[in-house]
Structure 1
Amino acid sequence: MATRKSRDSDCNSVSFLKYVLHIFNVVFLLSGIGVLGVGIWTVAEKQHYVALLTNATYELAAWVLIVTGCLVFVVTVIGCLGVLRNNRFFILVYTFALLLIFLLEAMVGIMSFLYEPHVEEELRLNLNNTFVENYKLDDKKTSAIDQMQIEYKCCGANLFEDWQYSYWQKENLSEGLKVPNSCCKTITPHCGKSDHPSNIHYTGCRHRLAGEIRDHLIILSAVGLGICVLQIFGMIFSCCLYIKLKDMSD
């Protein structure tokens, strides 16, 4: 009778754990959609300006979230199959996959958290060099600079006067322009010939770019560190189910 009772108790425990894991999988899938969405949003929103950064942390964090979000869909299917079929192998794979996703999300959160305070300093040291050394010499960076100056209503990295020290000016690529046309308040052909404050924006782009990247990094950090905690519960429940199924088969 004691053995019979133990068997019933194990079955009840397994049923409970399977029910909990089904709920967890739904929440896990929704979190994966959220992670994927944040990664895609980050890449789509600021990918054009990544070419102007010397540190790859921001871009790497976004792409890791995208990969993690895609993995969640696959892992959810494995988890559902393992639970529905009482398949210990699938449940074991599911547990290790949760651990992998936990590590990836934690990595994104920690990287973003550590990089965020240094964005301003990095841009202060490097953004102006990127502007003056690459404009009209590197098509990708030229496009990013023009788009930034138009979108942020700014001119130069720090000040509009930065442009007089650029290779664009020194190599006579400016065609008589004092600043690129993208600096103008109203963009027309050759409007950059005048650097009067009524014609161009005087504010540099560095502070606005730094502020937006820092805001994005805070979001990436919160998503990475916040959602990775969810995987801890999934790993605990899946390990318990694996052990219970093993005991029942013995």
Structure 2
Amino acid sequence: MATRKSRDEDCCSVNFLKYVLHIFNVVFLLAGVVVLAVGIWTLVSKHQYTVLLTSASFPAAAIILVLAGCLALGVSVLGCCGVWREHRCLILMYTFMLLLIFLLEVLVGILAYIYQGYVKDELYQNLNSTFLESYSVDASRTAAIDRIQQEFKCCGAIRFEDWEGSHWRLGPPLKPSQSVPDSCCKTTSEGCGKRNHPSNIYYTGCIYKLADEVKEHLIILGAVGLGICVLQIFGMVLSCCLYIKLKDIID
């Protein structure tokens, strides 16, 4: 017959593990808020970039972060309840949920790291055709291109001359007098794109700054995902210890 143990035997007592896990849950809750905030910020403020990308890796990483953040908020409450009531089934469920969130955040880190490597090549291959074929045709992409040209102070994907062969200029209605879209102008006004002098429009292509912006934000997503996922390891170890400790205790 197995010998049952008291609550305070071995190196870590039940009360000590409960106390540490409550502290962990508070920290985990705050970390979940950070993860959720970064994911939402990416989806809202960087949406204009995603419609110009052919790969879904960038928005997918943000959506997974939002999911992980939402789960973290719920799981921290579940953990507090399980630990407080010393309910072994809840603690076991809590441990598996921590593992799931850990895997989601690792996935974000991996996606961000891999996509960093080829986002610049993807933009070089596809961004110019997106500019030339979608501007004035696709409303969401048109708005995104206008915003990027103004925000990054650039004109065209690679160079401002690219607009000469675009659907916007050559398609109906023809715009023989308009050199570039008005969003290329240093001071935007209706019809300002007729004059392509460097004093009037930006000469730098958008692809360079857009590639740097996407890569920098992928670094943030990867750092948040991989950085915070380390926290779950401590939580899983502590919850497993408490689960085992509660198995044969004597009240």
Post-superposition offset of 1:172: 3.6
Q: How does 1:107-146 map to 2 (within 5 A)?
A: 107-146=107-146
Gapped regions of structure 1 (runs ≥ 5): none
Per-residue deviation, residues 169-201 of structure 1 (Å, max 9, x unmatched): 221445331110100111111111111112111
Residues 8/204 of structure 1: CA separation in 2 closer, same or farther (3 Å cut): closer
- Determine the C-alpha separation between the residues in 1 that align with 2:71 and 2:250: 30
Counterpart of 2:84 in structure 1 is 84
Asked whether the equivalents of residues 25 and 79 of structure 2 are also in contact (C-alpha less than 8 Å), the reply is yes
Counterpart of 1:187 in structure 2 is 188
TM-score when scaled to structure 1?
A: 0.94
Asked whether the equivalents of residues 7 and 15 of structure 2 are also in contact (C-alpha less than 8 Å), the reply is no
Q: How does 1:50-89 map to 2 (within 5 A)?
A: 50-89=50-89
Post-superposition offset of 1:219: 0.8
Moved more, 153-162 or 9-18: 9-18
Per-residue deviation, residues 90-141 of structure 1 (Å, max 9, x unmatched): 1011000000000000000011011112111111111001000100010010
Matched, 1:196 2:173: no
Asked whether the equivalents of residues 157 and 205 of structure 2 are also in contact (C-alpha less than 8 Å), the reply is yes
Per-residue deviation, residues 148-168 of structure 1 (Å, max 9, x unmatched): 111111100000011011111
Asked whether the equivalents of residues 163 and 179 of structure 2 are also in contact (C-alpha less than 8 Å), the reply is yes
Gapped regions of structure 2 (runs ≥ 5): none
Asked whether the equivalents of residues 136 and 173 of structure 1 are also in contact (C-alpha less than 8 Å), the reply is no
Q: How does 1:145-164 map to 2 (within 5 A)?
A: 145-164=145-164
TM-score when scaled to structure 2?
A: 0.94
Counterpart of 1:26 in structure 2 is 26
Post-superposition offset of 1:8: 4.7
- Determine the C-alpha separation between the residues in 1 that align with 2:217 and 2:40: 12
Matched residue type, 2:178: L
Matched residue type, 1:109: G
Counterpart of 1:48 in structure 2 is 48
Per-residue deviation, residues 198-221 of structure 1 (Å, max 9, x unmatched): 211111101111111111001111
- Determine the C-alpha separation between the residues in 1 that align with 2:31 and 2:6: 35
Tell me the secondary structure at the aligned position of residue 9 of structure 1. coil
Moved more, 42-51 or 129-138: 42-51
- Determine the C-alpha separation between the residues in 1 that align with 2:63 and 2:117: 21
- Determine the C-alpha separation between the residues in 2 that align with 1:92 and 1:174: 67
Cα RMSD of the aligned pairs, angstroms, is 1.7
Asked whether the equivalents of residues 17 and 237 of structure 1 are also in contact (C-alpha less than 8 Å), the reply is yes
- Number of residue-to-residue matches in the alignment: 247
